[in-house]
A and B are shown apart, each in its own frame.
Chain A
Amino acid sequence: MSGVEINIKQLDKSFGTLQVLHNIDFHVKSGEFVAIVGKSGCGKSTLLRTLAGLENITAGEITFNDRVVKGVQETTRMMFQDARLLPWKDVITNVKVGTPNRDKAEEALNNVGLSDKRNDWPAVLSGGQKQRVSLARALAGDPELILFDEPLGALDALTRIEMQELIEKLWTNQRFTSILVTHDVSEAVILADRVVLIEDGGIALDVKIDLPRPRKKDMKFTEYENMILEKIMHK
């Protein structure tokens, strides 16, 4: 199993007369972790949803490993801001939505540290636990690409740090390609190999984060963070 290589060429996306994404050219290496940041309504979520196959593109093309793709791909998984667990299935059955293989589901649940909750209903879990189950569900099917649509946005600060560490650990072990949409620049710099800024439907900044992992919030970290923030805020 390895991450998928993504190429986006001259992608346009419009909703009616409203152009959301314009002429996007974008390349993601196999196993790379890319964060997409930008203000609300800049089109970053739309870009993620076109990669997921949930939105059709208006023009251009998307290739995974040099193969043109359309629609939802079997090796792509997505995590949403809300966990989207099935409330009427217990935890392990929710994880099994991601794979028909029983052992893989148990293993994935174990990897997120929630094996002891396997028989519980989602309604009794905390917000962070729900997202961990959702992560296990995404991982269970050995994905080549995971799309994160602000999955940590609704969590409290401490839970968020735990989740960031967990995602980084699992990504380091399994090397699926990751694309994270977030409005938290600090989170982007903590997790990503590259941070991409989307502005007015186009790529305004594409910066490689050249810091060792796991990342510490030192001088260099702050420099990256400030540089990206300044670019977003047009200072």
Chain B
Amino acid sequence: MPQQIRRLLVAFAVFIALFLVLRYVMIPTSFGEYGHYRGRSLEDNAAKPLQFTGNSSCIKCHKSIVEEKSRGHHAGLACETCHGPALKHVTYADTLPHAKLPDSLLLDKPAERKNCALCHNRNMARIKFRNDTVNISMIKQVDVMKHNLVDKNNESLKCIDCHFPHDPY
């Protein structure tokens, strides 16, 4: 075998060995387990923290409010739809019952007019007449610019001053 071919073969062998080592080091072990991706990534995605907890947690402490809501028009709504994510609030209350919750864990009590307007401000796109499991034509549509009452000091009243949000009329 000529010398230059022998040297070339050595160079090739070194190159291939280097390639195999790099490939071994750089490709994660779970790559290709299910497809052309890192299989462990499924677990990473599944392990992300939750924020919303669901209605079943609320009844443990706020029984009267949950019962009141279940009688009214807002029965179908999740508590967290208005009050925001509650998992941390619930976990704290579960681990330390009867302790006062720190302010940072108290949930939103949206009182401003704009919060009610998200669903109830009059909009042509909401006025449809269809009867299915939820009849959305039943969702009261109010022109919040016109229906705007004021108190003695000429400041506009909040919606919830007259319409109680857990059992509205």
Partners in one complex: no
Chain B interface residues toward A at CB < 8 A:
none
